[in-house]
Structure 1
Amino acid sequence: MPSRQFRQQIAELTAQLAGRELNADLQAWLNQEHGVDSPSYQQLKQSCEQGVAEGWLCNREGGGIRYGRIFKPADDLAGFSVDVVDMQDIVGPHHRHPNGEIDLIMPLEGEALFDQQAAGWLVYPAGSAHSPTVTQGRALVLYLLPQGSIEFTRSA
Structure 2
Amino acid sequence: MIALVAVVAAVVVGLVGWLWWRGDGTVRRGSGEVLRPHEAALSDDAFGSAATLLLFGSQQDERTDAVRRRLLALAIEHPGVAVAEVDLTRRGDLAGRWAVTRTPSVFALDGGGRLRARVLGAASADVLRTALDTALRPAG
TM-score by length of structure 1 reads 0.26
Computing the radius of gyration over CA atoms, which structure comes out larger, 1 or 2? 2
More strand by share: 1
| Bigger helix share | 2
